[in-house]
Amino acid sequence: MRPFLVTAGRVAVDADGRSMPVETQVVATTEGLDALDRLAFEQHDIVAVCRLPQSIAEIAARLRLHLNVVRVLAEDLRAAGQLTVHVPDSGVVHDASVLRRVIDGLRAIPDSRGVTP
């Protein structure tokens, strides 16, 4: 399904015109888990996968949804009280040493053959 249809053309931006960072952590609330049977397909899947904290990027990858669709739906679910959203401190996000450690960690992951690059 096209992202435009899932979000009704909406984009996930705040009052300052910024979108939710991909590293934003999301976790389902008790209300969200109780409402699973009443949620639409994508919303149901997002709440279900968020039984444990997940980043916006992880949710998009796990559910094979467009990143901006996850951002819009996560904001809708937060507004409905079905998700709790934890946006990271922006000062930490832009710290080059954090990014370097993430890159080094990704490089250390073996490929499908078990070979580390």
Q: What is the pLDDT of residue 2?
A: 55
The larger pLDDT score, comparing residue 28 to residue 109, is at 28
Are 48 and 34 in contact, with CB atoms under 8 Å apart? no
Q: What six digits make up the tokens of 90? A: 């922006």
Across the chain, mean pLDDT equals: 79
Burial of 30 (0-12, 13-18, 19+ CB in 10 A): exposed
| pTM (two decimals) | 0.67
Q: What is the pLDDT of residue 5?
A: 53
What is the rounded distance in angstroms from the CA atom of residue 82 to the CA atom of residue 75? 10
54 strand-pairing partners = 26
Mean pLDDT computed over 70-97: 81
Q: Shortest CA distance to 40 belongs to which of 5, 67, 15?
A: 5
Most confident of 4-8, 57-61, 84-88, 98-102: 57-61
Residue 16 pLDDT exceeds 60: no
Q: What is the pLDDT of residue 72?
A: 86
What is the rounded distance in angstroms from the CA atom of residue 17 to the CA atom of residue 6? 21
